[in-house]
């Protein structure tokens, strides 16, 4: 039936008027099979030119053998041009040179002094909107409910429900008061069954906390 909400296992969840689907938008969970990715239900990405490999398109330095992980929560919205620069892209830079001699030969790479140690995971919370062309740097931790403006370069820890923009990214303002943020994090609506979420669509999208609590 046309009114059924798509399963989180749907590859192309956006139908077009002619009955086809929008190839440039995918739910990430069913299209990424990668040992270093963890993806929540209903998180999606869009691209004007859909790639054949969404994992490489979004996180080109996250290899199968990388020690770090990329963790993305539920209901995240990832615009065209977003890229996650994960820790395996790093060079060692605490010495006199950052040149990665070990990757070009001269013996096994493992344990060589020109190789950096394992880097941190990159963690994106739930219901995070990453605008066009955002760059997320290694080890960034973006809290649930954040909005990241187009072209922002994000590092470090971003508190939940912050609006962030710029290079380097700065918190412009918080979306809600501390009390409302605390209540939203307590409610964890993203963990509700999809039927309950849709029943609360009005409250969620208009910011009516009283109506949301009643639902």
Please give the pLDDT value at position 199: 93
Please give the pLDDT value at position 15: 92
Q: What percent of the chain has pLDDT over 90?
A: 91
Please give the pLDDT value at position 1: 36
Residue 2 has pLDDT above 80, yes or no: no
Mean pLDDT of the 164-185 span: 97
Residues belonging to the active site: 91
Mind giving me the DSSP string for 87-139?
GGG----SSS----GGGG-SS-STT-TTSPPP---EEE-SS-EE-TT-EE-TT
Residue 213 has pLDDT above 90, yes or no: no
> What topology is assigned to 25-175 in CATH?
UDP N-Acetylglucosamine Acyltransferase; domain 1 (2.160.10)
The answer to whether residues 61 and 86 touch, using CB atoms and an 8 Å cutoff, is yes
pLDDT confidence bin for 4, thresholds 50/70/90: confident
The answer to whether residues 24 and 57 touch, using CB atoms and an 8 Å cutoff, is no
| Residue with tokens 């760059």, as numbered in its chain | 135
pLDDT digits (tens, 9 = 90+) for 53-99: 999 999 999 999 999 999 999 999 999 999 999 999 999 999 999 99
pLDDT digits (tens, 9 = 90+) for 178-204: 999 999 999 999 999 999 999 999 999
| Residue with tokens 């994090």, as numbered in its chain | 185
Please give the pLDDT value at position 47: 97
The pTM of this model reads 0.93
Q: Tell me the helix, strand and coil percentages in the chain, rounded to 5.
A: 20, 20, 60
Mean pLDDT of the 20-24 span: 94
Q: Domain locations in the chain?
A: 25-175, 188-215
Please give the pLDDT value at position 215: 65
Please give the pLDDT value at position 210: 87
Please give the pLDDT value at position 109: 83
Mean pLDDT of the 94-118 span: 92
Mean pLDDT of the 150-173 span: 98
Rounded to the nearest integer, the mean pLDDT of the chain is 95
């Amino acid at each position: 039936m046309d009114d059924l909400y798509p399963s989180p296992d749907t590859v192309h969840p956006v139908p077009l008027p002619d009955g086809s689907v929008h190839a440039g938008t995918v739910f990430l969970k069913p299209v990424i099979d990668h040992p270093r990715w963890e993806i929540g239900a209903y998180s999606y990405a869009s691209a004007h030119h859909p790639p054949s490999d969404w994992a490489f398109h979004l996180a080109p330095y996250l290899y199968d053998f990388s020690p770090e992980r990329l963790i993305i929560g539920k209901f995240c919205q990832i615009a065209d041009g977003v890229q996650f620069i994960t820790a395996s892209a790093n060079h060692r830079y605490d010495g006199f040179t950052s040149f990665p001699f070990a990757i070009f030969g001269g013996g096994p790479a493992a344990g060589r002094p020109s190789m950096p140690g394992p880097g941190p995971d990159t963690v994106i919370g739930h219901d995070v909107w990453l605008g066009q062309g955002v760059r997320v740097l290694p080890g960034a931790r973006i809290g649930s409910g954040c909005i990241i403006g187009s072209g922002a370069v994000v590092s470090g820890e971003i508190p939940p429900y912050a609006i962030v923009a710029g290079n380097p990214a700065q918190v412009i303002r918080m979306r809600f008061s501390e009390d409302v943020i605390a209540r939203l994090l307590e409610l964890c609506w993203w963990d509700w069954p999809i039927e309950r979420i849709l029943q609360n669509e009005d409250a969620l999208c208009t910011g009516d906390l009283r109506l949301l609590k009643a639902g």
